[in-house]
Amino acid sequence: MIFLLSWIKEFINFNYNISKLFNEIGIEIISIKKVYPIKYNYNNNIILGNIIKIKKINNIYKIKIKTINNDIFNIYNKHYIKKNIKILVEKINKKYFIVCKEYDYDYIINTNITHNISYLSYYYYLSRELYSYLKYKNINTKLISIKNINIKKLNKINLKIKSKNIIYYNTFLINNFKFKYSNYFIQKKLVLSNIKPINNIIDIKNIIIKEIGIPIEIINFKYSKSNLIIKENNKNINFITENKNKYLLKKNKNIILFYNNYPIYLSNIINSNKNKINNKTKNLLISFSLYKKNKIRYIINKYNINNNITKLYNNIIILPKYNIYIYFLNKYLNINNINNIKYVYYYKNYKIHNNLIKLKFSEVNKLIGKKISIKKILKILLVLNYKIKYYNKKYIILINKNLFKYNINKKINIINDIIRFYGINNIKFKNNKYNILIKNNNYINNNYLNIENIENKIINLLIDYGFFQVINSPFVKNNYYLNFINNNYISFKDKIINKLTYLRNNLFINMMNNIIYNINRKINTIKIFEIGNIYIKKNNKIIEKKNIEILLTNKNNNYFNNLHYLYNILNLIIEKVGIKKYNKLIIYNSKIFETKIIFKYKNIPIIKFGKLNNFYINKNIYLAIININNLFKIINNKNIKYKKINKFQYFVKDLSFIIDKNIYFNNFYLLAKKKLKNKLINIYLFDIYKNNLPKNKKSYTLRFIIKNKYGKKKKYINNILLVLINLFKNKLNAEIKK
């Protein structure tokens, strides 16, 4: 999740280290980058220019500006600006205004937010959490105040809701709308958040979603046809989206917004091509809506839909107060000079969570592993806006007043809030009643930042190759896989975690559930990975280790292609962290793998991978296990040398040969390396083929990675390939396959 520091400070003013603040409330910061907004691309109303002349007239400066297209015009400004610097200029009502100078900057904060606190992905709720934490720390800060804004109500529009699957629907009308580009204030927010600005209304929609995280519908409205009904369709309907995709919506299976008997919205996730907003649009209906999650997820899975709204439903959906919608809508409409807004319709079909929650202090201390004073627990709960009804030395009874946490009523989430605010660094674990001690290797604690950098390198590389990161619980419900893999698993008999009674000793145990979930939804290609701790029982003690584990299954069930694809990625990972030489070991008939391949460095295992044994799944699944602890041991004791990156890209060429069955890849490898040692980076076996060939023959496809030091052309490459073809022909009797 990406945040802008300037955007956060629109909601809350504070003087506190931002990275420290985020980490203390449980948000992991991946990176903080200083950016200059002037360097980014905006729409046509934002012009890049250069100051060529400044002249003072009375108390105003006349600034002469030259654009990239050599257009010259004047701007009048109250403050002096240096000559020969670049500026961004915005054209508003035929006048030009300076909006950004060359040296103006902002900060982009790239974070990783876990699912249980995913409501912190939105600026308004993040600011409230920051405010609560700073208040807990007794640090002076100010939070934006949301005041009630009175707007007129319009009763002319006939809108009916005939579905029980709608939780919330809040509608506003905008009259005399003008379709145009957004101003710099809005475009800057979107551009720096990796969102492309489109037009003023779509941009406002995207910004409000990022601020309060609620799905928004926009209707191109005409007064003459004002009948709006939201209901389940009573017959099969052909629905064409604005992107011209076609869906057959079956009877009574979908919630549809009908406008004058035409379907214009499938739930609140897909817009119809009959509801396009264009230059002729004059009136808009904007609806903040929330449908039941189970119904929406059924539609998402059935039609395989993936957009910004589906991502909202995959996280915890928040429910702001009524006045918050009006505040933000009014704010951004005013920025774009749109003043004609009227309230139309309000519908609510939910009960605010006001159940009494009884929380025993012994449960809190047991789960945290340390006794926290009652005063500190009460203080944390109060700043987090929990209402305390009663407490004594043993327990506390409270009400959750946080509307944006309306579906979070589990005790574990409240305890998680207490841990985050109390500070995980303030908790020192001791031996518990099971006499179990979790051992961390010292080098991990002393070099946390270094090992984190290695992890980030591997994670970024996997994401670049299309893998998705998953996060699973460290507990396992069923011990079948644990018994199959390793008998040294850890079991608990605890009332708090009676449903999850086994600690994982491999990450892929829970990742298999992710694979099965996606296979059941007919997703053929699945590429996932997880980073986390595993726990192994040894001499009545728990040893904690850290792994990155990768699972891959593909529509193409070709064993060699998939294994080689995974092999190449693992090679890249090892190169990325600075290890050049390592040994390979192949083991057959492994418990987990059909065939296991191990990468070792001086007898220290780094990676093991291969095709998994079938766990009741009719698919080839490939697993790679990267031992982070051993990897860091090697790197920590090894001097890594750096060399300049070659400015010319290397060449990749494939050649197929027909050879005798008694010849193997190693014969090709040794000959090529000996002959062209200084010109080849590496050689890979890409494919083996035996069909439609004589019995004593087979086909090898080899991939050659060729150096390119001086930017040489095709003749240089062709000469190397001819040398290789002649070499293999003479020495191995290999024929080139055409």
Tell me, what's the pLDDT at 434?
34
Residues in CB range of 645: below 8 A, 6 or more apart? none
What are 567's two structure tokens?
Answer: 């092999």
Output the CA torsion sign for 498, 499, 502, 504: negative
pLDDT band at 707 (very low <50, low <70, confident <90, very high): confident
Phi, psi of 563 (to 5 degrees): -65, -40
3-state secondary structure 312-357: HHHCCCCCCCHHHHHHHHHHHHHHCCCCCEEEEEEEECCCCCCCEE
Tell me, what's the pLDDT at 444?
32
pLDDT at 432 over 90: no
DSSP letter, residue 68? T
Tell me, what's the pLDDT at 638?
53
3-state helix, strand, coil in the chain (%, to 5): 30, 35, 35
Q: Pick 729 or 69 by higher pLDDT.
A: 729
What are 178's two structure tokens?
Answer: 């003008």
Q: Say how far residue 121 (Cα) sits from the centre of its chain.
A: 11
Q: Pick 645 or 94 by higher pLDDT.
A: 94
Contact 156, 226 (CB under 8 A): yes
What are 420's two structure tokens?
Answer: 């985050």
Residues in CB range of 612: below 8 A, 6 or more apart? 592, 593, 594, 621, 622, 623
Q: Pick 714 or 230 by higher pLDDT.
A: 230
Measuring CA to CA, which residue among 665, 659, 667 is closest to residue 686?
Answer: 665
Q: Which SS3 state, helix, strand or coil, does residue 59 take?
A: coil
How does DSSP assign 100-145, residue by residue?
EETT--EEEEEEE--GGGGGGGSHHHHHHHHHHHHHHTT---EE--
CA atoms within 13 A on the CB side of 5: 21
3-state secondary structure 558-577: CHHHHHHHHHHHHHHHHHHC
How do residues 224-277 score in pLDDT, each as one tens digit? 667 889 999 888 888 988 888 888 888 888 899 998 888 999 888 889 988 888
Weakest-pLDDT range from 16-20, 287-291, 338-342 = 338-342
Contact 185, 335 (CB under 8 A): yes
pLDDT at 527 over 50: yes
Q: What is the mean pLDDT of residues 185-193?
A: 92
pLDDT at 446 over 70: no
What are 288's two structure tokens?
Answer: 């903040």
When computed from its CA atoms, the radius of gyration of the chain, rounded to whole angstroms, is 31
Q: CA 160 to CA 341: how far, in whole Å?
A: 21
Output the CA torsion sign for 38, 40, 45, 47: positive
Q: CA 579 to CA 573: how far, in whole Å?
A: 9
pLDDT band at 189 (very low <50, low <70, confident <90, very high): very high
What are 177's two structure tokens?
Answer: 């709308």
Burial of 717 (0-12, 13-18, 19+ CB in 10 A): middle
Tell me, what's the pLDDT at 36?
92
- The whole-chain average pLDDT of the chain stands at 80
Tell me the longest C-alpha to C-alpha distance in the chain.
Answer: 96
Measuring CA to CA, which residue among 511, 581, 585 is closest to residue 549?
Answer: 511
Q: CA 405 to CA 50: how far, in whole Å?
A: 49
pLDDT at 433 over 50: no
The β-bridge partners of 629 are none
pTM above 0.85, yes or no: no
Single-letter amino acid code for the residue at 247: Y
pLDDT at 613 over 50: yes
- Exposure string of 674-692, with b = 16+ CB inside 10 Å and e = fewer, is eebeebbeebbbbeeeeee
The β-bridge partners of 735 are 658
pLDDT at 547 over 60: yes
Q: CA 26 to CA 123: how far, in whole Å?
A: 16
pLDDT at 691 over 80: no
Share of the chain above pLDDT 70, in %: 85
Tell me, what's the pLDDT at 425?
62
How do residues 664-675 score in pLDDT, each as one tens digit? 888 888 888 888
Q: CA 370 to CA 418: how far, in whole Å?
A: 12
What are 61's two structure tokens?
Answer: 């400066």
Tell me, what's the pLDDT at 352?
63
Contact 402, 384 (CB under 8 A): yes
pLDDT at 567 over 90: no
Place of tokens 């492994």: 590
